[in-house]
Amino acid sequence: MKKHIMVVDDEREAREFVATLLEDNGYVPIQASNGIEAMDTLKENRPDLIVLDILMPKQSGIKMYRQLKMNPSYRSIPVVICSGIAKRTFLRNQAARMDFNGQTLPEPEAYVEKPVTPQYLAKVLKRILDKSA
């Protein structure tokens, strides 16, 4: 059975880049343009992994990441952050808010800085999906 991967990015070109990469590697892409749309889609279509941008209108990837990791229904879905924001900046932001409702947020399964090559992103996704199988 093919793995379903949700791509959450407000830039259409970035979503299409990742969706094409997913299809080329035998995955089924699910696309969302922001965190609100993605959380609504999750209720109907649970992916095997989420590729998440950080800077988006309506709801940021940081807020969506927290919602995912604080919700027992979605906590186990692996998340790959794919962003133009440096990993160090993201982790510093997370460290400042480590204690969220009395719980410690885990780091994402992977953090990929844009621009990313298709080969590298495919390798990261395969490694995570193989580990969670």
Enumerate the domain spans of the chain: 4-132
Question: Is the domain covering 4-132 a CATH 3.40.50.10790 domain?
Answer: no
Q: Provide DSSP, 47-109.
A: -SEEEE-S--SSS-HHHHHHHHHH-TTTTTS-EEEEESS-HHHHHHHHHHT-EETTEEPPPPS
Q: What is the pLDDT of residue 97?
A: 56
37 Cβ partners below 8 Å, 6+ apart?
Answer: 8, 58
- What's the mean per-residue pLDDT of the chain? 90
Instruction: For the chain, give the percent of residues with pLDDT over 70.
Output: 89
| Per-residue pLDDT reduced to its tens digit, 44-75 | 999 999 999 998 888 888 889 989 988 999 99
Q: Which residue has the higher pLDDT, 131 or 120?
A: 120
